[in-house]
Amino acid sequence: MEKEKIKCVFCGGISELHQEEIELLDGKIILKEQPYYKCKKCRKEFVTSKQMKETENQLNVFSVTRPIVSTGRSLAITLPTDIAKFYKLKKGEKVTLIPENKHILKIKIC
Ligand SMILES: [Zn+2]
């Protein structure tokens, strides 16, 4: 379990543990009870790296499988509408492909 109170990373004051719901893809994906800290002194909100990892792990569950199609000489992957909308992607827009290892190819949205 998370600590109820930790030192604020900004001002050193006392920050308390809160939880919130994070909505993604127009509410299609709801991550419940995502923990974060809110400082009582400077009112800033922040998450610890452990909390961020947990959110990332939950998001990985929603990864989608897409078939590779061919368009002329290159291969293409189509994006589901929800994903395109969420990242505000439009036709003609450029993205960067980042090969991470033999099994992971990341897409960076500029
Ligand atoms: Zn603070």
pTM score: 0.56
Residues 57 and 66: their CA atoms lie apart, in Å, by 20
Average pLDDT, 10 consecutive residues per value, the chain (110 residues): 90 95 78 90 94 82 84 89 83 92 88
Q: How many residues does the chain have?
A: 110
Interstrand relation of 14-24 and 29-39 (parallel, antiparallel or unpaired):
antiparallel
Q: 8 C-alpha to center of ligand 1: Å?
A: 5
Q: Tell me the CA distances in angstroms from 25 to 1, 3, 13, 31, 89, one per residue in order.
A: 28, 30, 35, 11, 13
Q: CA dihedral defined by 33, 36, 39, 44, rounded to 10 degrees?
A: -110
Specify the pLDDT at position 31: 82
Specify the pLDDT at position 45: 95
Q: 58 C-alpha to center of ligand 1: Å?
A: 28
Q: 21 C-alpha to center of ligand 1: Å?
A: 22
Specify the pLDDT at position 1: 66
User: For the chain, which residues make up each domain, given as ranges?
Assistant: 5-60, 68-109
What is the CATH number assigned to the segment(s) 5-60? 3.10.20
